[in-house]
Structure 1
Amino acid sequence: MPRRTLQQRIEERIASKGDAVFLTREFADLSGERQVLRALRKLVDDGKLIRLGYGVYGLAVKSRLSGEAILSNPTGFSGAARQALSKLGVAWEPTTAERAYNEGRSTQIPVNPVVKLKGRFSRKLRYKATELAFER
């Protein structure tokens, strides 16, 4: 039986978890930090993952239109960013504008991904030109 590479073991773990967002520390038990980062970078180059921020990666699929890697998340970047915040242990809640829309008090649909933070968070999460904004 041929020995599996670190990249193959990471891909197997990604497939078995079924999540759309992954943190670098989820693969720390497979090898050293530098090797894991190198394997994740290779997966990004291959179009299987997208780097959303420091230590945060999103599952990717190849676009049928352009052939480039796009974020594979049914709730889009906003959902992926919220999942990443939850995995990082950052307390957050929907913004007041989003709550107003969900409760039927407004017809304005929030366009940009914004969350209200309950704690501290200093990283940036972004996908292409869209960056997660924070309401304090």
Structure 2
Amino acid sequence: MTIQDRIKTRVKRSKRSVFLRSDFKDIAEYDQVGRGLRNLVKDGLLMKIGYGLYTRIRQNRITGKPMPDNTSGADGVLIEAMERLGVDYKLDNLSSLNISGESTQIPANIKIILNNPRFTRKISIGKQGINDDR
């Protein structure tokens, strides 16, 4: 079984949708894991969302374009990425009111506000992102 096959098996069996490069350090060396992940991005199993961050993708049934394989969509992937990286964050006011049940208005996109201004890593999925100045 090749390194790429072992990474692919672990990605498919996992319940999470965001993967760090370090999740595969027991499979092979740093460079070999990087090549395996890069090949899986080319094959259409993963999408790179940031430095060392990948998410599993699937084809959208309507448009046929790749999208994150998460029940919460891009918002859920960004939140999971923040939790996997251990970054302290909070949601914007409208999103937190909706989640707590105080408001029935649903925001189009959840805005994540970082509590640590030193975190400068860019994470983006399509038009939505963190530290992504567009």
| CA shift in 2, pair 1:133/1:111, >3 Å | farther
Q: Distance in 2 between matches of 1:59 and 1:21?
A: 7
**Cα pair 1:113 1:132 within 8 Å, conserved:** no
Q: Which sits farther off after the overlay, 7-16 or 38-47?
A: 7-16
**Cα pair 2:55 2:69 within 8 Å, conserved:** yes
**Cα pair 1:24 1:56 within 8 Å, conserved:** yes
Q: Distance in 1 between matches of 2:84 and 2:69?
A: 18
* Mapped pair 1:56 → 2:72: no
**Cα pair 2:50 2:122 within 8 Å, conserved:** yes
* Mapped pair 1:19 → 2:16: yes
TM-score (norm 1): 0.84
**Cα pair 2:121 2:131 within 8 Å, conserved:** no
- Structure 2 portions without partners, runs of 5+: none
Instruction: Using the TM superposition, give the Cα deviation of residue 38 of structure 1 relative to its aligned residue in structure 2, in angstroms.
Output: 1.0
* Structure 1 counterpart SS, 2:61: coil
- Structure 1 portions without partners, runs of 5+: none
Q: Which sits farther off after the overlay, 111-120 or 78-87?
A: 111-120
**Once superposed, what is the RMSD of the aligned Cα atoms?**
2.0
Instruction: Using the TM superposition, give the Cα deviation of residue 92 of structure 1 relative to its aligned residue in structure 2, in angstroms.
Output: 1.7
Q: Who is 1:80 aligned against?
A: 77
Q: Distance in 1 between matches of 2:76 and 2:19?
A: 13
Identity of aligned pairs, percent?
34
**Cα pair 1:113 1:131 within 8 Å, conserved:** no
Size of the aligned set, in residue pairs, is 131
Instruction: Using the TM superposition, give the Cα deviation of residue 65 of structure 1 relative to its aligned residue in structure 2, in angstroms.
Output: 3.9
TM-score (norm 2): 0.85
Q: Who is 1:130 aligned against?
A: 128
